[in-house]
Structure 1
């Protein structure tokens, strides 16, 4: 009887305690909180790491290591090639980080092509492999606009008139043939496509397609897309891969000024397009713009990152997910003091800690860009060495190249240690 009384008392006390401590939360936030509590208890355990890369339990990393080994040995991996997609802000959008990363991977494992590109030229951004020319098309971006139909990447190109053209060319000459896929939506009216050999085809989608649908063709670059009527379909992104080559694809999907919350401005099923690409690695590289937001709610940021990662896991269950901790940065509006990190954005440290906590809870690979640079307050030394631009936020081309090489070394060395 006494034991029963004690058990009842403990349960009652626990219930009162939970109420008093305010454990009223949604199922999602409670799940995250419980996972974080569990993670905090185990964070003292040894975490596999090499250089500045930590493995918090990524379930697909050994599979990726085997796939890369097969590719290097001349055998086709499961998907026929290794596909890497990086989502991010201006550090990603310029292709100045992903470009050197792509070059190293393709030198080692083979060149499978280009991957995802924007539907047309984006002011202030670029791509290391392709160039764009457009006339008569208007670009809409999820950075500035709100729409329920933004596809993966957050760009929509709309033809203003019949005869509007977009030409896409390689920066270096090549005779390779490419399979090109276009995400189209809206009108079933065809788009005209003329490739570098003069071959002409018509691209169209079914009248029954009410969402983004794919149209395919085989081309040699350059190729030109033409709106044959004023009522041409919308263009939401392009995918380019070589028809015969095995190897690696690296796609930068980003825009200047973005935060990871932009994912929730895209259509709810945007990960359907991610699923179609069959990614082997998804790199998430945001944080700088979050740090510069003085009104940033860290809890909201973490919840959106948790939710986004769960979406990616569902769409690409075999993919390795890598979270890049934001690089060092300086807020030039803050007064300089003798304490170096007082010049960092107000939310910088909290934001970086939140990123690492999410990586731990979601069992990701985590690469600490700031620590790879040398730790706190490295922007001035890097600037003095020509690696960081004078805004003390962005890197020079050389700085991005150095950063990409550091990431590549840690990433590949860790994968090779798993073999």
Structure 2
């Protein structure tokens, strides 16, 4: 009996001192994390606008217009090369106008005449060359305004033709934005033919006969030898039988010269632009010199329809940073001409390439916002975090830090955020973007497919946040 008790206590001792084996805890996939209400934890939620309460005024306008359908709501998207091509912003424009109505294309610019890329929706051409200058260059006395690119000529004689390729953006109203709203351009949709009656000398063809010389031929037609040589590009008096000569005789005949002349339209003006409204939707128009102007400086053209809904203007300059826009007061002054109800910012990639630290990046962002507010533009703001990229083939940690800082100050500074950086996988997801064909070979710019996906995701997040706004009322 005693032996059995001893065996029992020994077994009990070794059992209680045995260590529990460790088990590896598997990370929870992001897609399996249950979403919670932002009021409970003040953090961004995937697929939505963070701090969306900052844009509630816009949501109120959209909801009201869904019922009354009598307003144009202007959204202005400002950025760098990710925006200049209008691939992402065109996707956003289409999606939001499908939901809220198409009130027009918005701001356009003749990028082709500035020898750079732009939207496929519009095509510009001119019979004269134009000078241009971008806001990314050192400060210069150039007419750089709302488009971030100055375009000008110091003489007339030009015709600037604009053709709208997408039928959805035929327009009824066209507005011309110039420095200090100067009246520099006229508009025309057609031309008239002016005919002038004049005379010209009769030209004959003379076949040289054997034994003829230039002197005898000149005497025959009562012209000089020098004239015959000049018209036939002869270097000497030697001629050969069988060849032909063109000779302008002294006989004259009537001639009609036809010239096309553009017929200027009746243009009106307000405090922001000179404009024309057509009852019929237009897809082509001509800008011609105003006869009273001496210089011709074009900052932008606004196209609108006679319909309520969204006007989505995009402004992008390849290589631009917040500091580049901050250099030119005319940009902020002319921003009023777009009457923004919402501003969207997409800048940060070029700051990272200059190794700008996050503190100074935020400083430039805040200065940009202050310059806007100084013009008494009180539109709500959405700041997009920059998309993932590589910095000289290495992880771009600047973008990661900018994105964190933007979210950190959003509530304090009173703007909303769409976290594109996170939506596209952050730094850990950039290789997958390459596999999916979304990012380009430079690991900075995106493919057409990539930009369109960005635009689609933003539109979804915007509409989802709008639906949440309506549910919470």
Q: TM-score range by the shorter chain?
A: 0.7 to 0.9
Q: Residue 89 of structure 1: CA displacement? A: 0.6
Alpha carbons of 1:174 and 1:97: their partners in 2 closer, same or farther (altered >3 Å)? Answer: closer
Number of equivalent positions: 356
1:382 is paired with a residue whose SS is helix
Which residue matches 2:274?
215
Partner Cα distance (2:416, 2:380) in 1: 8
Which residue matches 2:139?
146
Partner Cα distance (2:122, 2:332) in 1: 25
Query: Could you tell which deviates more after superposition, 345-354 or 86-95?
Result: 345-354
Alpha carbons of 1:292 and 1:52: their partners in 2 closer, same or farther (altered >3 Å)? Answer: farther
Asked whether the equivalents of residues 87 and 283 of structure 1 are also in contact (C-alpha less than 8 Å), the reply is yes
Partner Cα distance (2:385, 2:269) in 1: 40
- The structure number with the bigger radius of gyration is 2
Q: Residue 382 of structure 1: CA displacement? A: 1.4
Which residue matches 2:121?
129
Which residue matches 1:97?
88
Tell whether 2:363 aligns with 1:312: no
Tell whether 2:295 aligns with 1:232: yes
Which residue matches 1:371?
422
The residue correspondences of 1:15-414 to structure 2 (distance < 5 A) are 46-47=41-42, 49-56=44-51, 58-59=53-54, 61-76=55-70, 80-121=71-112, 122-134=114-126, 135-147=128-140, 149-173=143-167, 176-185=170-179, 190-195=184-189, 200-201=264-265, 214-219=273-278, 220-227=282-289, 231-242=294-305, 244-267=306-329, 270-294=331-355, 296-315=356-375, 317-331=377-391, 333-334=392-393, 343-345=394-396, 347-414=398-465
- The runs of 5 or more residues in structure 1 that have no matched partner are 1-42, 207-211, 335-342
The two structures, once aligned, show a CA RMSD in angstroms of 3.0
Higher relative contact order (CA 8 A, sep 6+): 2
Alpha carbons of 1:256 and 1:84: their partners in 2 closer, same or farther (altered >3 Å)? Answer: same
Q: Residue 143 of structure 1: CA displacement? A: 1.9
Partner Cα distance (2:444, 2:86) in 1: 16
Asked whether the equivalents of residues 285 and 325 of structure 1 are also in contact (C-alpha less than 8 Å), the reply is yes
Q: Residue 137 of structure 1: CA displacement? A: 1.9
Alpha carbons of 1:377 and 1:204: their partners in 2 closer, same or farther (altered >3 Å)? Answer: same
- Deviations 1:276-309 (CA, angstroms, capped at 9, x unpaired): 3221110010011111113x24332211211211
Q: Residue 120 of structure 1: CA displacement? A: 4.8
Q: Residue 311 of structure 1: CA displacement? A: 2.9
Partner Cα distance (2:85, 2:169) in 1: 26
Alpha carbons of 1:88 and 1:192: their partners in 2 closer, same or farther (altered >3 Å)? Answer: same
Q: Residue 188 of structure 1: CA displacement? A: 6.2
Asked whether the equivalents of residues 189 and 232 of structure 1 are also in contact (C-alpha less than 8 Å), the reply is no
- Deviations 1:250-278 (CA, angstroms, capped at 9, x unpaired): 111011111111122212x5323222322
- Structure 1 length-normalised TM: 0.76
Q: Residue 408 of structure 1: CA displacement? A: 1.0
- Deviations 1:9-64 (CA, angstroms, capped at 9, x unpaired): xxxxxxxxxxxxxxxxxxxxxxxxxxxxxxxxxx99733754244433754x2222
Asked whether the equivalents of residues 74 and 312 of structure 2 are also in contact (C-alpha less than 8 Å), the reply is yes
Q: Residue 183 of structure 1: CA displacement? A: 1.7
